[in-house]
Amino acid sequence: MAEAALSRNSGYERIEVRRIAGALGAEIFGADLAKPLDDATFAELHRAWLENLVIAIRGQDITPEQHIAFAQRWGKIHRHPFNAPMAGYPDIIEIFKRETDTFNHGGRWHTDQMYTPQPAKGTMLVCREMPPYGGDTMFTNLYLAYDALSDGMKAMLAGLKGVANGDSKKHDSGMTRAQRAKAGVGQMPQIDPKDIKIQTISTHPVVRTHPETKRKVLYIGGHTERFHGMTDEESAPLKSYLMSHATRPEFTVRLRWEVGTVTLWDNRCTQHYALNDYAGFRRRMHKITICGDTPY
């Protein structure tokens, strides 16, 4: 197994790739995102991303403009339907938890924008401020989650679709996004509901095929409310089992942030969970999501 892990990260000439955990995740060294990337270096970053699902590019000092330029190398930028952008930068969302905040953004297992017809392909965060401890993010490998299912469960899930809702009271704090904004709960301003133009309740296959690797994925996440054609009550036991299965410890990695870390993860085959374990301290991230395609 150790030799296989090493071989998956060999052959890089322009960057150094250090695997973080057995399941997924790698640290990247040797790339300078403050400068334009040549095609060969970008190709190696893309390969590392597909192989490791989550890449943390350490030691970066980049401006918002450089953040946007790097994100555009991966595809068209996907603007969030609910969260308002950072002033002056419509493509960036600032995730800022103040010393007095108790609620944290992303504090549950989920995959970004699963509730849209074409969910985000990737998410890119730049770490701007970190607490002295805590504030890590966990990720889980949904390829492994699918592979570990029994043949009988795989057969049952084939053809099943999940219904994802982006603004359900069942998630996070028990309030809708508008209610959280009104109550002052949260870390970022919200877009007025009347101005939201994107569909935010969508149905997708529970088993999807990754469009680049062609591997099957257990496509389940915290936005999944129920299964198509089933009631909430009928869906609950299966949903609970699949979420528990998908986040088994052996499928996960815990990423430690540093100021200047740029992390990119693949929403098509991962879930993530932002840990809320730094009460009394600040944490600030800049976030861009990349457009994806229709799951199949």
At 141-156, the pLDDT tens digits run 999 999 999 999 999 9
**DSSP 8-state assignment for residue 86:** B
Mean pLDDT of the chain: 90
Do 66 and 150 meet the contact criterion of CB atoms below 8 Å apart?
Answer: no
Residue 34 confidence (pLDDT) above 50: yes
Q: What's 2-290's CATH class?
A: alpha beta
Which pTM value belongs to this model? 0.88
pLDDT at position 1: 42
Q: What is the mean pLDDT of residues 219-227?
A: 97
pLDDT at position 193: 57
d(C-alpha 113, C-alpha 123), whole Å: 10
pLDDT at position 229: 97
Residue 129's closest CA among 99, 171, 169, 156? 99
Q: What is the mean pLDDT of residues 213-233?
A: 97
Three-state DSSP state, 180: helix
Residue 169 confidence (pLDDT) above 80: no
Percent share of the chain, pLDDT over 70: 87
Residue 5 confidence (pLDDT) above 50: no
The H or E element containing residue 122 is strand 122-129
Q: Domain ranges for the chain, please list them.
A: 2-290
φ/ψ (deg, to 5) at 101: -75, 145
Q: What is the mean pLDDT of residues 55-71?
A: 98
Band the pLDDT of 200: cuts 50, 70, 90: confident
C-alpha to C-alpha distances, 114 to 9, 92, 199, 204, 206, nearest whole angstrom: 29, 19, 11, 8, 11
Residue 170 confidence (pLDDT) above 60: no
Token pair of 295 as six digits? 């799951």
Q: 165 - beta bridge partners?
A: 201
The residue assigned the tokens 């084939």 is 158
Residue 206 confidence (pLDDT) above 90: yes
- Note the pLDDT tens digit of each residue in 120-130: 999 999 999 99
